[in-house]
Structure 1
Amino acid sequence: MSEVWDLAELAATPDLEQELDRLARSHDIIRTRQLNQQETWTVLGAALTRQLLSDPRLSNDVHTHAPHGALVPGMSVMLLEQDDPDHSRYRRLVTAAFASRAVRELEPRIVATTRRLLDDLGDSGTADFVGAFTYPMPLEVICDLLGVPDEEREPFRKWAMDISAAPSAEAMQTAAAELFAYCVRLIGAKRRQPTEDLLSELIAARFEDGTALTDEELSSFAAVLLIAGHDTVTNLLANALYDLLTHPEQLAALRRDASLVGDAVEEALRFRGSAMTTVNRVALEDIEAGGVTIRKGELVRFLLNAANRDEELRADPHTFDIRRATMQHVAFGMGPHFCLGQRLARQEATIALTEILDRFPTLELAVPEDKVRWLASDAIRGLEELPLRYAR
């Protein structure tokens, strides 16, 4: 296979899903070029995705086996870039913290944040919902979750923007390094004075042998929570609104029956998931898969949006239907690295859609569908902006 596809170039068009479908009909795996120009094997098919996501011959520990393939080269190893036994040990500790009171009682704050941002829009008008709502809402939730003081949140907004929409790999790494340095300072403050938040829970948590997470491990976790937890929800919300508004019969069904909101979130995840690809993995040995040979040391990632449109999972994969009998998808991955924050992402999306549709009986695109601009990203599927016209 000689052709190399540029995912960021494809993602900047509204036709990405159709192009992925065309590619998947003839290839289970393709070569793609990442933002930093390195080439990677990218898996498209649902069956091969399920097979390889749990294949121990593919390592998440790119820091050891292929440092150039790390999410943020040079940053400490993150949970999603670990292999067992370290991954399972670390994940058990973090999973327990996610079940803590600080997380369980987050819902009222999500509702309050959502309503405050919608109040700021007023009763009617036209606004970019990405800038006015889908971007700030999950960022506020992540800051609440980590216990970031209100007066220190503005830099978080800049780092999140620079990381999600950086024009180059170098700019993204600079923003990530600044975020990591801040997290180190934040952890120091919480060691001195703990509060009721996830970061304080993790500082107090202990492994079976009585040891605790280091500042470096805690900072890496906080950084990846912002990177992964903010971007994915921002674009999930925008994509869900876009797909509901461009499928008016589905929007009408949801307005008639608000109990369908959970199903609408699942269909949005399947139909146009925001986490377009996984982080890189590295082959620990030569692997024959999908009609190609993945050589030892080569990078592999999974194009989840392509797998979710595979006819093997769904007979009519290109139909947006919130009333499906089953919502089978791999939007949160699968296997040992199944997304730890999937419950929170679903919670945020469900609350946001419920509040928006309840608040605005009139809601429509403020520009023609073909004028909506898509992000040029090789990892995230989302909109640069979502101009909407709304009224109470």
Structure 2
Amino acid sequence: MTVSPSLRYPLPYDGALDAPEEWERLRKQCPVAGIELPSGDHATLLTRHADVRQLLTDARFVRPTAQDNSARIVPDGEGGAVASNETSALAVPAKGTEHQQWRRLVGKWFTAKRMTALRPGMTEIADRLVDEMIASGKPADLKAHLGFLLPVYVICDMLGVPPEDRDRFSHWSDALLSINRFTREETDRAQAEFVRYMAGHVAAKREQPADDIISMLIQDSAEDGQGLTDQQILGTAMGLLVAGHETTANMIGKMVALLLADRSRWEQLVADPALVRTAVEESLRFDTNLGFGLRRFITEDVEIGGETLPRGTTVVCSQTAANRDETVFDHADQMDLGRSPNQHLIFGAGPHSCLGQALARTELQVVLEVLLRRLPTLELAVPTSELTRIEGLVVGGLREVPVRW
């Protein structure tokens, strides 16, 4: 049975690292649930792993496609850009052969070979940031000293934009990912500033190309004649910057907080650093604070989870709830740092899975490797009950991650 739309979304939670109690009941009793969004609109929430995976891989479930040039650009989960209500002239192709062409072009940058080449530079940056955090004294906010800075340095380098502009990127990201923290006027102003900045940057790369993803997209588009338009390159650059900065910055803080919340987890990693890769995957699975979740529209009547949903239904898939599905993960409510295989859905699934997942994984692994090597005595400087979530953003995160060593 489907619950009434009076169920408010996002769902309430207790501690900043805790899962909403409602998840288990919904998965067992009401996996296709009616919800009321912050906007007052009604939608359908999916919480079971199989249903969420079906939505993410089925061509009948599509990204919103309103033709509204006033819409604001946010990352779409693939590393590209869509708008919050939810597309605009700057949006990348959303489906079909054009979308696959876009993924092919952009995906050339996110190869395993390139991630391996980037890894030493990431490690060097992380080591320097840890040096600065140590010099600042303890306790320190790990998110501010490391979580925020590492991804923005990396994505700035990839896009060929100056890292000294990172504060501007942070403001634009916050404004474009906000649900209710900014007025519409503030959000529109931030998007206009962001568009002007990145349009100028793309134009500059046309004149003076370098070894960065924007230059690559411009060159590929010129060579085969079937590449991206200027507007699509601009939308891609904006989406990559917001997605590559905000989501990974927040995940670094959440990962470290999760591993330190139970000190035995950290001690297990100190004793066996070979667990870093699986520990990163388990942190991604165990995270309860992904944010709003992916939103899709249904293009035709479809049956899912035993319910028939009519064409035009807005569906929100909760990857975080699906990642606690006991039918897929043994002891789903426990962190198993050696869990393998780990079929979590944080990066989506199918043809629309996140293009930047290899980059995110590499950054998370590097951060964990450096912290384990440099600060094996790291611990939270406050009880987990004092950690607080960032409210009002599409993506989830913690305000601060106070640590000492």
TM-score (norm 1): 0.89
**Structure 2 equivalent of residue 176 of structure 1:** 191
Name which of 309, 319, 338 aligns with 1:323: 338
Contact 1:145 1:197 in 2 (8 A): yes
8 Å CA contact retained: 2:35, 2:43: yes
Alpha-carbon distance, 1:146 to partner: 0.5
Whole-Å separation in 2 of the counterparts to 1:3 and 1:378? 22
**Structure 1: 5+ residue runs without aligned partners?**
none
| Number of the residue aligned with 1:3 | 5
Q: How does 1:208-227 map to 2 (within 5 A)?
A: 210-227=225-242
Q: 1:87 aligns with which of 95, 99, 112?
A: 99
Q: Alignment partner for residue 198 of structure 1, among 213, 228, 236?
A: 213
Q: Distance in 2 between matches of 1:51 and 1:101?
A: 31
Is this contact kept in 2: 1:176–1:223, CA < 8 A? no
**Are 1:289 and 2:304 an aligned pair?**
yes
Q: Which amino acid aligns with 1:58?
A: F
1:20-44 per-position Cα deviation (integer Å, ceiling 9, x unaligned)? 2232222212233445443322211
The match for 1:167 is: 181
Return the offset for 1:226. 2.1
Residue in structure 1 matched with residue 282 of structure 2 by the alignment: 267
- Alpha-carbon distance change, 185 to 137 in structure 1, aligned in 2, over 3 angstroms: same
Residues in 1 aligned to 2:334 and 2:219: alpha-carbon distance in whole angstroms = 47
- Report the counterpart of residue 21 of structure 1 in structure 2: 24
* Change beyond 3 A, Cα 1:222–1:241: same
- Give the distance between the partners of 1:234 and 1:12, measured in 2 at CA: 23
1:223-242 map, 5 Å? 223-242=238-257
Q: For each residue in 1:39-58, what CA deviation from the matched residue of structure 2 results, as whole angstroms up to 9, or x when unmatched? A: 32221111111222222222
Per-residue CA shift, 1:162-215, capped at 9, x if unaligned?
Answer: 334560473445433422221111100110101111111111113895233222
Specify the SS of the correspondent of 2:45: strand
Deviation for aligned residue 1:291: 4.2
Q: Determine the C-alpha separation between the residues in 1 that align with 2:148 and 2:229.
A: 31
The aligned amino acid for 2:167 is: E
Paired AA for residue 60 in structure 1: R
Does the aligned pair in 2 maintain the 1:61–1:281 contact within 8 Å?
yes
2:147 maps to what in 1?
134
Report what 1:122 is aligned to: 134
Give, in whole Å, the separation in 1 of the partners of 2:375 and 2:41: 45
Match of 1:72 in 2: 84
Partner of 1:54: 57
Which amino acid in the other structure matches residue 391 of structure 2? Answer: A
- Tell which deviates more after alignment, 185-194 or 23-32: 23-32
The answer for the alignment partner of 2:362 in structure 1 is 347
Q: CA deviation at 1:368?
A: 1.6
CA distance in 2 between counterparts of 1:136 and 1:35 reads: 31
Question: What letter is aligned with 2:89?
Answer: S
**Counterpart AA for 1:364:** E
Distance, in Å, in 2 between the alignment partners of 1:309 and 1:68 is 34
Q: Give a deviation string over 1:138-177, Cα, whole Å, max 9, x none.
A: 1121111101024444321321233345604734454334
Shift of 1:13: 4.6
Deviation track 1:59-116 (CA, whole Å, cap 9, x = no partner) reads 2252369x9896434633534x601122111111111233398765322331222122
Look up the match of 1:98: 110
Q: Is residue 11–residue 375 contact of structure 1 (8 Å, CA) maintained in 2?
A: no
Q: Does 1:356 align with 2:371?
A: yes
Provide the aligned C-alpha RMSD in A.
2.7
Query: Which ranges in structure 2 are unaligned for 5 or more consecutive residues?
Result: 73-81
1:162 partner letter: A
Query: How many Å apart are 1:365 and its aligned residue?
Result: 1.4
Q: 2:157 aligns with which of 144, 150, 155?
A: 144
Percent of aligned pairs sharing the same letter: 32
Out of 261-270 and 154-163, give the one that drifted further: 154-163
Amino acid at match of 1:163: L
Deviation at 1:310, TM superposition (A): 0.3
- Cα distance 1:304–1:202, how it changes in 2: closer, same or farther (>3 A)? same
Q: 1:121 to 1:169 in 2, by over 3 A?
A: same
Alpha-carbon displacement from aligned partner over 1:293-327 (angstroms, at most 9, x marks no partner): 43322222211001100012112100011022422
Task: State the alpha-carbon separation in 2 of the partners of residues 102 and 188 from structure 1.
Answer: 25
Identify which range, 119-128 or 181-190, moves more after superposition.
Answer: 119-128
- Post-superposition offset of 1:249: 1.6
Q: How many residue pairs were aligned?
A: 388
Report the counterpart of residue 369 of structure 1 in structure 2: 384
Report which stretch shifted further, 263-272 or 244-253.
244-253
Distance 1:211 1:47 in 2: 36
